[in-house]
Amino acid sequence: MIKEPKKLRQRWVAGGIHEIDLLEGVYGYCQVLDDPQVAFYDLFRKEEDPQPSLEEITQAPVAFKISVYGEGPFNRWPRLGKVPLDVHLNKYEDHFRYDSTTEKYYIVGDGYPLNGTLVPKERIQDLECQAIWPAVTVEQRLRDLHAGRLNYDVEMFRLRPKKEPFIKDFYADQGYDFHWIDHLLDQDD
C-alpha cells in the first residue's frame, strides 16, 4: 500500500499577504487581519505583468474589509509573505445586521451594544453587512470590482428585496454574461 503524502494546509496568519486567482488571467490581493477579518486591496494584475511587492500591495487602497471563512486564506489563496499589521487597518469596522423577522437594520461594532443599535436603512449605505463570506463569493466580488460593476451579494444584503432576482438576470442588466455557474445549471438532479 502506497501512502499519499499529507497535503500541507496553510493556517490563519495575521499579516499574511495572499494572491487571489480571479480567472481569465487576473489576480487580486488581500491581507489577513485578526480572525476572521480580511482586507482586500483595489489592486489587480494581469498574468503577464510582474507580481507586485508586498510593500506595493499594502500601499494600495483598501477596497473593503470583511469576514471570510478560512478556506480562502487557508487553501485557495497562496500566501506571498507576511508583513506587520497596521493598527488602523486591523481595527474592526462597524457593520450592519438585518433582522428578517422584524425587517429592521442594526449597526454593530465598537461602541454599540452586542445586539446592535436600531437604525433607519439610510444609515447602512456605506457599511458592510455582518456576514462571513465564502471564498468563491469574495472572488466574484473582486471580479466585479475589477470590472467596475455592482456585486450581486453586496446589493442583495443592502436592498433586501422581497423577491431576489436570479443572479444571471442581475448581471445581465449590467451587460455581463455571468457564466461561471452554467455548469451547475445544466446538471440533472
Q: What is the spatial distance between Cα 135 and Cα 77, in angstroms, rounded to a whole number?
A: 9
Mean pLDDT of 41-60: 97
Contacts of residue 123, defined as CB under 8 A and 6 or more positions apart, other chains included, come to 96, 105, 107
Mean pLDDT of 7-19: 79
3-state secondary structure of 26: strand
pLDDT at 189 over 80: no
Q: What is the spatial distance between Cα 105 and Cα 52, in angstroms, rounded to a whole number?
A: 40
pLDDT given for residue 105 in this prediction: 92
> Mean pLDDT for the chain?
86
Helix axes 135-147, 152-159, angle to 10 degrees: 100
pLDDT given for residue 8 in this prediction: 52
CA distance to 5, 6, 64, 97, 99, per residue, from 2 (Å): 9, 12, 46, 51, 53
Length of the chain: 189
Which residues face 39 on adjacent strands?
31, 65
* Confidence bin at 38 (pLDDT 50/70/90): very high
Kindly state the helix (H) or strand (E) to which residue 55 belongs, with its residue range.
Answer: helix 54-59
pLDDT at 142 over 60: yes
Which residues face 30 on adjacent strands?
18, 40
Torsion of CA 129, 27, 171, 71, to 10 degrees: -50
pLDDT given for residue 103 in this prediction: 87
Share of the chain above pLDDT 90, in %: 50
pLDDT tens per residue, range 81-118: 999 999 999 988 899 998 888 989 999 987 888 888 99
pLDDT given for residue 184 in this prediction: 47
pLDDT at 186 over 80: no
Higher confidence at residue 157 or residue 17?
A: 17
